[in-house]
Structure formats: structure tokens, C-alpha cells
Structure 1
Amino acid sequence: SGESSEDEAQIKWEEQQIKKAVKLSQETYDDLSLHKSQPAKPKFEPSVSLPPVDLEIVKKRLTERITSLQDVHRAHQREYEKYMEDIESSKMAVQELEKSSDAALNYKFYRAMKTYVENLINCLNEKLKYINELELAVHVLLQQRAMRIVNRRQDELKNETAYIQHLTSGNRKPTNDGLEGAEKSQLLEMCEHRRTLRRQVRECSGEADHHEGMSSDDELTPTEVTKFQKSRDNVLEDSRKVFEDVHADFCDIRKILLKFQEWKEKFPDSYCEAYISFCLPKLLNPLIRVQLINWNPLEVGVIFSQNFAELEEMPWFRAIEEFSDARNKSESKRDDNPDKEVLPRVIEKTILPKITAFVKSVWDPLSTSQTKNLVQLCNSIFEKQVLSKNECSRAKEDLVNMVVQRMKKSVEEDVFIPLYPKSTVEDKSSLHSKFQDRRFWSAVKLLSNVLLWDGIVQEDTVRDLGLRKLLNRYLLLNLINMPPGPDNIEKCNKVVACLPERWFQDLQSGSTLPELLNFCQHLLQCAHTLHRDNHSDETKEVLLLMMRVKALHMVEDFLEEYKLEHLKPMI
């Protein structure tokens, strides 16, 4: 077994040696075959024959080449210069053509604008006569209605005064028993009937803070209302026909302003040099007046069935406001906008004179509703709408002067408070007492209306009319002749409620206004009487009234005199 294993090992070793020999011979063969397949590299031979180089020939050829290029460059340069000259010439020609074209267009625009303005002026001049007639017709209607109410009120006052005077003298009937006496009795009955109707309306509406005599008594009979409405409707119908045969470009304010807006945008400098902003208010005046034919500044206006709560909401106002606020898109040498003055000038030249005419002929200073509407309108114009800065507003001055004139006339003609013996007015249900109270409250109403103008009319003028003339001359005389008590205090309270609080804000001396000294003396006398009669609540109420008018020294002296220490904290 040992020999057999050695034989097997010998055989394996021989086989391995044979395999190694075969593998080595194969690799050697592959290397030889690869070496034979690669081509042989060519060898470079430096000895090649070239033509001889002559520097003169090279120089000559380069010179010829440069000369040729220079000739081509000069030709291109001449061609370039020619093209540049042609371009400049073309630009000059274009500019000349453009200038001639703009001049023609400008001339065409100005000629068209001139023709338009001439036609517009001719149209308005032709219609101006009809506008004046319609405006006058409406104003006459309103004036006649106002005069009818005022005359009726004055006649009723005279008749009622005469009737009560006859009763005081012992006669139960007026001395004149003829037709005139019957007419007077009928007037008094109609007056009492209207008073009763107003009282019933107030009771239904729950209006408690009202006194007989504070109503305007401006009701018209149904026949008068129908007649007035019919006449006014006829005028309004005619006013709608004024421009019915006119193209909108010549009667529509917005379209007219668009024409001038186009001018301002295209040629702003010539527009300003022509002072168009000064001409427009006068040019638009007739068109605005047509829209205002049915406008009543004393009432909540209705213009052609369209309600306008304020002046700013009217169509012409909006159109002018938009025109004034329009931005100029073109370049102009001017930085300011002269059209900002168009609206203020329209208000000065058209609106304020119309309001002044109403104040002169239609306004009733005794009417609280009319006065409030008028004051509100004036405040809106004077505060919100700044009047022309470059002109002294003569129209505003005329309006204020007319307001003062009408209030003076009303104080002189409409205020009458009779004085009767105490025995005749002690009974509050008597005719004397009722008539006296009505006249007192009517004067208080006028005082309130006069003081509403504080801030528009000069303060000295308002204080003169309201305090010196109305309060001290009429109202105070009635208060002094009344016994201290609830009625007297109520009347004094109403008087104090009318006074503007602004008057007492800067009073630091402890004394009231000079015009209120007599009134405060009356309050002080009432306080003395009430305190002596042990009416502490009424006394305190009177002292509070004195404090509201800043009569602090009087109140302090009163408290010191009666040792009312518990009331000092209210000072």
C-alpha cells in the first residue's frame, strides 16, 4: 500500500509539469505573432528641397496688399459718409414735415374751439331772456306766498290785540259790528282753528316740549296750496323746454367742460394764458340757474323730482368739481391749477346772490325750520367750500348784511308782548294770559333763531340783536312782571338754552356777559324770593341757571349771605 501511494503522487507531479510546459509554450507563441503583426515606423528624412525666399518679393507683395485694402477702406468711408448725410437730411425733412403737420392741426383745433365758443355764447344769450323770466316767475310765487303769510300773521295779531283790548275795557264785542268786524272775527276763528290742528298733531306725535306761540303759523288753505302748486308746476314745465331744441354739447355742463378739458390737456399754456378759469363761471351761470329754478334754500329742496340733501350733490356741482380736480396729463410751464378756482367763483357769482335774494324776499326769521336750513347751507358753503382766495367775497358780505337787515326788521315788526294787570293774567286759562304767553314764546323763538347765526354773523351783531334788543327790551320786561315760580323759571330756562355755550367758555372773571347783567339780576331776585318762601328746589334751579351763564360771583355772594354751605360744592 505504501508503494502504491508513492506511485500516485509521482503520476500527479508529472501531469502538473506537463501542463506548465504546454502553457508556457503557448504564451511564447502569442508574443511572437503580435510582434510580427505591428508595421514598421517610417523614418523622417530632413533633406527636402524648398524654393529660395526673396525679401524684396515679400515686401512688394505686402505693399500691394496694403494698398488694395486702403483703397477699399476709402471707398467704404466715402459710402458711409454719404449714408450719414442722407440720414441727417431725412431727419431734417421729417422734422419739417412734422412741424408743418402740427401747425395745421393746432390751427384746426383753435378754429374749431373758437367756433364752438361763439356758438355756445350765442345760444346762451338767446336763452338768457327766458331763463330770467322763469326765475323771476318762481321767485314771485314764493315771495307772494311769504308775504301772504306775514300779512295774515300781522293782521291776526292786530285783530287779537284789539279784541282783547275791548274785553279789558269792558266791552264784550268790538265796536265795529259791520262787515269789517265780521271779517275780523272770522280771521280770529281761522287762526284758532289752525292752532287747534297743530296742537292735535303735536299730541299725536308726542311732542311735549312745545308752547303755544312757538309755531310758525305758515299753513295755507287747500285752495292756496293747489293754486301755488299749479303755478309752480307750469313754470317748471316751461323750464324743461328751454334747451329742448339745443344739442347736448351746448347745454350739458359736463360735455361743455369736456371741451375745455381737451384744450387744457393739449395746450395747457395757451389755456392758462386765455384765463379760461375766470370765464367759465360766467359762461356756466345760465345753465346752473336753470337747474336751480325750483331750488329753495329755505326748504329741503326737490329739483326736478330728484332729492338733494346738500348742495354738493347737485349735478352741476359734481361736474364742476370733477373738472377742477382733473389732472393735467400734458407738460406745462405752470405748476398751479387755475381751475381750482372755478367752483368757488361759481358759488360766489351764482349761488350766494340767489340765496341773498331768498333772504331778502322769502325768508321768514320767525320760522325755525327755514332758519335752520339757511344756517346749515351757509355753514356748508363758508366752511366746507372755501371761497375764492384771490378775491374779497363781496357776495358773502352782501348775504350776511341782508340777514342782519331782515332780523332787525323782524325784531321791530314781529315782536309784541303786551303787559296786562296782574289780576287779568293770574288765571292761566284767561284770554289775556294765553295771549301774553303766546307772544312771549314767539319772541323766545325769534331769539333762538337769531342766535343760530352765531359764527356766521359777527358776534357783536348777534349779541346786540338777541340780547340787547330782544332779551333786555322785550323778554326781560315780561319776566320781571311775573311772580317767581315754576312758570318764570321755565321761561328763564328756555332763554338760557338759546344762548351759545361758546360765549361763556373764555369767561374767567366770574362775571357774566355785560348784556346778561340785568337778566342775572332778575334771576338773583327770584332766588331771594324763593329762598325766603322756603322753595329750596326752585332756588337751587335758579342758581344753576346763573352758573350756566357764569354769574359765579352772584352765586357765591348768595350762598354766603344765606349760609348755604351744602350748595357750595356745585360751584
Structure 2
Amino acid sequence: MSNAPVVFKRKGKATQRARVSTPEAEATVVDGGDAEVSESPSALAAKVKRKTRTKAKSALSFGGDEEEAGETFKLKKGVLSSNLAKGKASTGVSSSSFTPQQTSGPTYDAAYLNELKASTPSARPSLHSSALDTDVSMDVDDPSQFSAITVETPLLNPCADEQSETAIPSASSILSAKQKRERLRANKGSEDYISLSLAKQDDFSRGPHPESRLMREDDELGDADDEFAEYTSAQERIALGKKSRKKEAQKRRVEMNDMIVDAEEEDEETKEWEQEQLRRGGLRAESVEPAPKPVYKPAPIPMATPIPTMPGAMARLTKSMSELTTSHAEHSATMAKLGEEQRILDQREKEMREMIAKAEDKRSWFDAFREWIESMATFLDEKFPPLEKLEEEHINILKERAGIIAQRRKAEDEDDLVTFLGVPTSLAPAEDVVDELGRSLPSTTSPAARQSRLQARQARRTLRRATNTKQAASDEEGYSTDATLPAGDNEDYRTAMGRLVADGAALMADVKAEGFRNPAAGLGKWFGEWRAKFADVYTGAWGGLAMIGAWEFWVRLEMLGWNPLERPRSLDSFSWYGALYTYSRPSPDDAGVDEEDDEPPLGPDGDLVSAMLTTAALPRLAALITAGALDAHSAVALRRLLDLLDELSLSVPSDHPKLELLLKATNAIYVDAVTHTEDVLKPFIEVLRVGQVQARFDPAAVPARQRVLMRQRKLLAGLLRWRKAAGDRFGAGALVTRLVQDSMLPIAETGWEVGGEDVMRKVAQSLPMDLCPPSLQSLR
């Protein structure tokens, strides 16, 4: 085809629509249809409107009736059409046959159509790898790229068959078709009307003035914010809350995972479709070589097997027989081993079941034991404070009683000393004291007060001699223990002790359970069952000592109000003593000993009686003695104390700390008695040292001196007896020497001829040789 321009006439028909050809549209067509498809209909409509406002519109007409003289335009051919024309010229197509005639419309004669038909290839063009590379990117604006590439593109052939006649529509048929389309355009509701635009006008807003053809810039469709909102994040919202931020982060992770899955996923149907499109477009070479036919391969013929011989068969059978025999022996040994293992496993299973049953029984028993211990702890927490309060009250009663006796004894000693030594300056009678009501109170150091105390002492001695006729003959004034309270004080003392015992009994009045009232039925039962069922756990947990700690409450409650020096009572007479003795020595059936034994041996706990004595009894006895239960001038109280110590020595070792505590408390009583005697004699000894004794005749002086010396001799006898029982580890010997030299000897020297010598001779004879002072050695 020649390069001569084709001239078209402009028609003057106003209703004729024309297509506008622009360089941008041509570039879009050359690049492919993807750019048009990717743009939205609103964007295309806006682009067309902008272009139509800036460029002049031109109407083309092919075969119209009216011709408009004047302006014509020439069709400018591109580089591709020129190259295509050159390629066709090389195939033998005459370019002169394609020259259009300068007529009113296109002319299609038979010769032109035949040439066009002959030049149209009937087969799909083959792809030459050297001529075209699908991966090479081309720029349609650069014509130099097309010079090195030769592409044979088939021309449009409206007549596929060479034998068929070419049907060319006439001008009247084209005109009627145009008129029909105008009618359909006017009647858009018809089903035969197909719009050529990609978007309908009804789909877009026509603005505030739809009847006006004027359009404001703000009313244009396809605003950039709306067009690209999906890509510019214009519609996204910023997450401010914690939950919204968490939701947005989760949404982004899901989208990223989807994009990764989509990128890694390969759709077979899409891949086949792409390959088919490449094949149809001629961009992929087709395989022209047929598939290779399978070649027949005959099966290999096996080698001939020799016929076995008798010796070989016998050798194989013998070998197989030996292998079977060995295997049988191994299997038999394995079966025997497995049987033994099965037996061991059965035995272990039986043992494990027994262990599980024992563990379950142990767990259930200890659960019940724990519940009982918790209830016992609650009981003791409630009852122990009132018991301790009652014990403190008992201590206060004994202290008050001992204070009354000591005060009276001090006053009697001072009265006797004043009788034969005179009144020292510190003991001179004081003026009468007046109370808050103006009443005069007599002085305790006045002669009248001394005379009343002497009469009261004689009355008590007479009553004591009358009630105790056995000691009436041997009773010597001053040597007998005058520890009797006055009638009123004695009645108050007995009332207080009775109330104390009643309060102790009322402490358990609200307890109805036998296990809490009787510790042998509660503690003894549970701890004995623990020892019988789980001896190893019981021994490892020192169950006996734990039981002693809980049993202490009932021991102290039973000993409440008991003074062992006032009411002699052996320890084995208490109920707790017998219960602990029996618990410490299980029955022969439980202990596995011979029934012929007189006394069963001790159990794994040892002697719990000794443990209870050191835990509760000895501290309680020490507290009672310290409070004043022991009278240092009473030989009966000392004898009962020594008997109690002998009984304790059977169960408690002599070097036990709690027994040492009791012995120290007893020795402290004698130390206090000697110190009290020295304090009473101190003002009179000062008078003797300065020689200010008033020599006067008084018939009561000799009996008074005798009473003082006999009272000190009685204290010395008790101290010597205590030293013999406890030893000299507490300084009892030094205390004896201190009493003789500092207290007795100065008083005896004041009346040596009237009884003092006889008393000191008896003292010297009773003292051990190592304790006798040198001044008394001649009296032995």
C-alpha cells in the first residue's frame, strides 16, 4: 500500500457523532488494552470530558449525502503501518492496488479483494526466537525499536473463504443503519440498544443543575480523592483505643498472610490459560517433533538352574535343622526368661497394689488424725490461758501466806531480843500514828504490842500441844515450828484454796466429749494407734514427745492447788502418772515380748513418765517452793520434800536441768532464811559490839534467849539435813558456818552461863568436823 494520504470529506449533519483520535489514545492502544481496563468508568468519563473541552470536535462521515466544501483532514499513518506496508511489499503484494480512488467513498472491486484475500495468511505465524523476545520491553514512542524486529501480522480478512463472494453494504443500507441507531439512542429503554460508553450517565451525579449543560470544576466526576481512595488510605481510620489498635494489628497480619499465600499459590488453571494465550498469540513455539514411540524390549530369559544333588540337599537340611534347633533353644530360653519376668512383674504388681492400698489407708487415717489434732489444738488454745491464770493465783496465795508467817516470826524474834538485850535505837518505840479519820494506831514496837504478840504465841502453843499429844512431851518452846496462821487468816487461806480448786473443776464443766475430758481416751488412743500402725513414722516424728506436749494441760490441771509439803501425796497416785506408765509399756501382744515377764519393757518412746515429770511436774514444784510452800524452819516440810526428791530420782536423772532447777529453788529458801535471821540480829549485834548492853534483871530474859537460840538451832538442823541430801554443790556448808558464827555464837555468849553454853555444845556436836568453827572445837 502506498503512502499517499487518504482524503475524507467533512459532513455538515449536526446529529452525526464522531470519534476523536488523540495521541494519548493511540499510545494507549499500542500499549495494550490493560490500561483502559485498569481505569474506572468515572475516570474515563472525566478524561473524555476534559479532552472534548480543550480540543475541537470533528465529525467523520463515510458515504453521506451532503458534502461540506472547505476544511478536510488527512489521515496520518504511523510507523507500524509503514513497516507493515514494507513487509507486505516484500511478499509480492502490489502497493498500487491499495491506492484509494479520489471518490466520494471507498471502492472495493473484485481484483482488489482477490489480492487482499491472497495476501492474508491462512495459518498461524511461527515464532522465531531470534526475531522476537517476549521479555524485551518496547517503547512505542521510539520508532528505532521496530526496525530490528520483523513481525508478520495477518491482515483482517472479512472473507475467510476464497470461493465466497464479497458482500459490500450500499450507502443506503449504511444510512438506514445509522438512522436506526439514532432512534435506538433516543429510546434508551429498548432492549436492542447497546451503549458504546463504558459507563452510563445515569450512574453519575449530574450536579445541582442537571438541566444546565454548564459544569463547574467542583462538580466534575472522578475526583482524585475518591478515585484513588483505595490506594491513598483516605478512607482509613486511625485506631486510638487499645482494643481498636489490637484489632487493626490483627487485621494487618491477616492481610499480610493472605498476600503471602496468594503470592506463593500457583493456580494451575490460570497458568494453563496464560500458556494458551501465549500459544494463540504466537509468542510460544509449538513442538513440531512428535512424541517418541515406545520401543519394545523383550523380557530377559533366566539362566538355567542346575538340578540339586542329594549330598547338597542333605547338607542344606542339616544346616537348617541345626539352625532351627539353635533357634528353638534360644526361643525356649527367652520364653523361660519372659515367664520369670512375668512372675516378677505379677509379684511387683501385687506389692504395688498392697502399697497403694496401704498408702490410701495411711492417707485417710492421717486426714482423720489431722482433723482431730486441729480440734485438740483449738481446745488447748481455749483452755490453757484460764489454767495459767489459776496457777498464778495459787502462787500469789502461797506468797501471801509465807509473807504473813515470816513477818510474824520476825516480830517475835525482835521481841525476844529486846527482852534480854534491850531496845536498840532503830527499834525505839515510835509515836502513835494517826489514820485519815484521826484515829491513833498503836506502834508495832511498843511494849503493849509486844505483850499482845507474846500472849498470842502462848495461846497457839497451848492449842498445838492439846491437839498433838504425841509431841507434847518432847515439844520444846522455840524448837517447834510455829507456822500456824491466825484464825482469821487461816480461814481466808482455806477459802481461797477451796475456790481455786472449784475454779479448776469448773474449767472442764462445759466439756462433754470423753476424748477431751480423759486424755487416755483421746491422746492415748490416737497416738497409740499411730504407733501401732505406722511405727516408723511415729518414731521419726517423735510422736511420744508430741503427745507429752499436749498431755501437759491435764497434768497441770490435776496438780492445780496441790502443795506437796502441806498435803503429802505420792506422784503415782495421780491418774496421769498411771496412764503414761501404761502407755510407755505396750502390752506383750503389741511389743512381741514374753508374757511371763513381770513388767513389760519400755516401748520406742522410752519412759514418758520421766518426760512428763521434767516437762510439767518439776517446773511446777520449783515455782511452788519459790513462792513459799517450803518453810525453812519446818522439819516436817523438809522431810516431805526429801521424800519427794527420792521419788523423783527413780524417774529423773540426778543431773537433769529441771531437777537442778528444783534443788536451786530449795537452796534459795535456806539462803533467804539465814539472810532474814542476820537482818533481824543486825541492830542488836551492833549494840553488842559497842558494849552498850543495858544490864538489868528480867525474869523473862533467860526464856527469851533460849527461844531465839532454839529457833536458830532448828534452822541449822534443817540446813544440815539439806546439805546431806543435796551435797555441797550449792554452798550449803558455807551457809552453815555463816549461821553459826554470825548469828548463834554472839547470842549464846550473852548468856553463856544461863544456857548458852549448853546450846552451843549441842550445836558443835551436830556439826561435821570440817564445818565446826575453831571456837567450838573444845565443846565437841
Q: TM bucket by the smaller chain?
A: 0.5 to 0.7
C-alpha distance in structure 2 between counterparts of 1:281 and 1:313, whole Å? 19
C-alpha distance in structure 2 between counterparts of 1:223 and 1:175, whole Å? 27
Find out whether 1:137 has 2:393 as its counterpart.
Answer: yes
Instruction: Give the counterpart of 2:361 among 83, 101, 105.
Output: 105
- Contact preservation (8 Å) 2:565, 2:641: yes
Q: Which residue of 2 aligns with 1:465?
A: 735
C-alpha distance in structure 1 between counterparts of 2:509 and 2:454, whole Å? 46
Aligned in 2, Cα 1:276/1:378: closer, same or farther, shift over 3 Å?
A: same
C-alpha distance in structure 2 between counterparts of 1:187 and 1:118, whole Å? 63
Aligned in 2, Cα 1:188/1:156: closer, same or farther, shift over 3 Å?
A: farther
Q: Which residue of 1 aligns with 2:177?
A: none
Find out whether 1:446 has 2:709 as its counterpart.
Answer: no
Instruction: Give the counterpart of 1:434 among 703, 722, 745.
Output: 703
Aligned in 2, Cα 1:241/1:86: closer, same or farther, shift over 3 Å?
A: same
Aligned in 2, Cα 1:489/1:166: closer, same or farther, shift over 3 Å?
A: closer
Once the two structures are overlaid, the 10-residue window that deviates more, 411-420 or 134-143, is 411-420
Q: Which residue of 2 aligns with 1:236?
A: 501
Instruction: Give the counterpart of 1:208 among 470, 473, 497.
Output: 473
Find out whether 1:148 has 2:411 as its counterpart.
Answer: no
Find out whether 1:374 has 2:641 as its counterpart.
Answer: yes
Map Cα deviations across residues 78-124 of structure 1 (whole Å, 9 max, x no partner): xxxxxx99999998886665444333222221211122122112211
Map Cα deviations across residues 189-236 of structure 1 (whole Å, 9 max, x no partner): 244333344146437445333322123322222222222222222222
Structure holding more helix per residue: 1
**Equivalence map 1:357-506=2 (5 Å):** 357-362=623-628, 363-381=630-648, 383-387=649-653, 393-414=656-677, 430-459=699-728, 461-466=731-736, 468-480=737-749, 482-483=751-752, 488-489=757-758, 492-493=761-762, 496-497=765-766, 499=767
Unaligned runs of 5+ in 1: 1-83, 302-308, 504-511, 524-545, 547-571
Once the two structures are overlaid, the 10-residue window that deviates more, 155-164 or 265-274, is 155-164
Q: CA deviation at 1:186?
A: 3.9
- Contact preservation (8 Å) 1:375, 1:452: no
C-alpha distance in structure 2 between counterparts of 1:254 and 1:285, whole Å? 12
- Contact preservation (8 Å) 1:424, 1:432: no
* Secondary structure at 1:453 match in 2: helix
Q: Which residue of 1 aligns with 2:542?
A: 275
Once the two structures are overlaid, the 10-residue window that deviates more, 123-132 or 346-355, is 346-355
- Contact preservation (8 Å) 1:174, 1:181: no
C-alpha distance in structure 1 between counterparts of 2:456 and 2:540, whole Å? 66
* Secondary structure at 1:340 match in 2: coil
Q: CA deviation at 1:399?
A: 2.2
C-alpha distance in structure 2 between counterparts of 1:278 and 1:330, whole Å? 20
Amino acid at match of 2:635: T
Map Cα deviations across residues 122-156 of structure 1 (whole Å, 9 max, x no partner): 21111111101111112211211111121222234
Q: CA deviation at 1:393?
A: 2.5
Find out whether 1:356 has 2:626 as its counterpart.
Answer: no
Find out whether 1:342 has 2:608 as its counterpart.
Answer: yes
Once the two structures are overlaid, the 10-residue window that deviates more, 316-325 or 367-376, is 367-376
Map Cα deviations across residues 307-332 of structure 1 (whole Å, 9 max, x no partner): xx311221111111111122575589
Map Cα deviations across residues 253-280 of structure 1 (whole Å, 9 max, x no partner): 2222232112111221111011112223
Q: Which residue of 1 aligns with 2:41?
A: none
* Secondary structure at 1:470 match in 2: helix
C-alpha distance in structure 2 between counterparts of 1:167 and 1:98, whole Å? 92
Q: CA deviation at 1:471?
A: 1.9
C-alpha distance in structure 2 between counterparts of 1:144 and 1:463, whole Å? 30
Aligned in 2, Cα 1:462/1:224: closer, same or farther, shift over 3 Å?
A: same
C-alpha distance in structure 2 between counterparts of 1:165 and 1:92, whole Å? 98
Find out whether 1:310 has 2:577 as its counterpart.
Answer: no
Aligned in 2, Cα 1:440/1:111: closer, same or farther, shift over 3 Å?
A: same
Unaligned runs of 5+ in 2: 1-339, 434-439, 593-600
Aligned in 2, Cα 1:377/1:206: closer, same or farther, shift over 3 Å?
A: closer
* Secondary structure at 2:616 match in 1: helix
Find out whether 1:118 has 2:374 as its counterpart.
Answer: yes
* Secondary structure at 2:722 match in 1: coil
Aligned in 2, Cα 1:186/1:516: closer, same or farther, shift over 3 Å?
A: closer
**Equivalence map 1:280-291=2 (5 Å):** 280-291=547-558
Aligned in 2, Cα 1:110/1:400: closer, same or farther, shift over 3 Å?
A: same
Amino acid at match of 2:621: I
Aligned in 2, Cα 1:243/1:187: closer, same or farther, shift over 3 Å?
A: farther
Map Cα deviations across residues 425-474 of structure 1 (whole Å, 9 max, x no partner): 998x82221111111011001011111213443326221112x1112332
- Contact preservation (8 Å) 2:416, 2:707: no
- Contact preservation (8 Å) 1:365, 1:371: yes
- Contact preservation (8 Å) 2:419, 2:700: no
C-alpha distance in structure 2 between counterparts of 1:482 and 1:162, whole Å? 14
- Contact preservation (8 Å) 2:478, 2:708: yes
Aligned in 2, Cα 1:490/1:436: closer, same or farther, shift over 3 Å?
A: closer
Amino acid at match of 2:718: N
Q: Which residue of 2 aligns with 1:16?
A: none
Q: Which residue of 1 aligns with 2:252?
A: none
* Secondary structure at 1:131 match in 2: helix
Aligned in 2, Cα 1:434/1:148: closer, same or farther, shift over 3 Å?
A: same
Aligned in 2, Cα 1:331/1:103: closer, same or farther, shift over 3 Å?
A: farther
- Contact preservation (8 Å) 1:156, 1:188: no
Amino acid at match of 2:503: D
Aligned in 2, Cα 1:456/1:350: closer, same or farther, shift over 3 Å?
A: farther
- Contact preservation (8 Å) 1:131, 1:239: yes
Aligned in 2, Cα 1:442/1:352: closer, same or farther, shift over 3 Å?
A: same
- Contact preservation (8 Å) 2:421, 2:694: no
| TM score, norm. by length of structure 1 | 0.63
Amino acid at match of 1:471: V
Q: CA deviation at 1:296?
A: 0.5
C-alpha distance in structure 1 between counterparts of 2:704 and 2:644, whole Å? 34
Aligned in 2, Cα 1:290/1:187: closer, same or farther, shift over 3 Å?
A: farther
* Secondary structure at 1:385 match in 2: coil
**Equivalence map 1:250-265=2 (5 Å):** 250-255=516-521, 256-265=523-532
C-alpha distance in structure 2 between counterparts of 1:168 and 1:434, whole Å? 20
Q: Which residue of 1 aligns with 2:307?
A: none
* Secondary structure at 2:723 match in 1: coil
What is the RMSD computed on CA atoms of the aligned residues?
3.8
* Secondary structure at 2:606 match in 1: helix
Aligned in 2, Cα 1:484/1:182: closer, same or farther, shift over 3 Å?
A: closer
- Contact preservation (8 Å) 2:416, 2:708: no
* Secondary structure at 1:452 match in 2: helix
C-alpha distance in structure 2 between counterparts of 1:331 and 1:223, whole Å? 58
- Contact preservation (8 Å) 1:372, 1:452: no
C-alpha distance in structure 2 between counterparts of 1:472 and 1:167, whole Å? 23
- Contact preservation (8 Å) 1:425, 1:433: no
Q: CA deviation at 1:167?
A: 7.5
Amino acid at match of 1:276: G
Amino acid at match of 2:740: L
* Secondary structure at 1:213 match in 2: coil
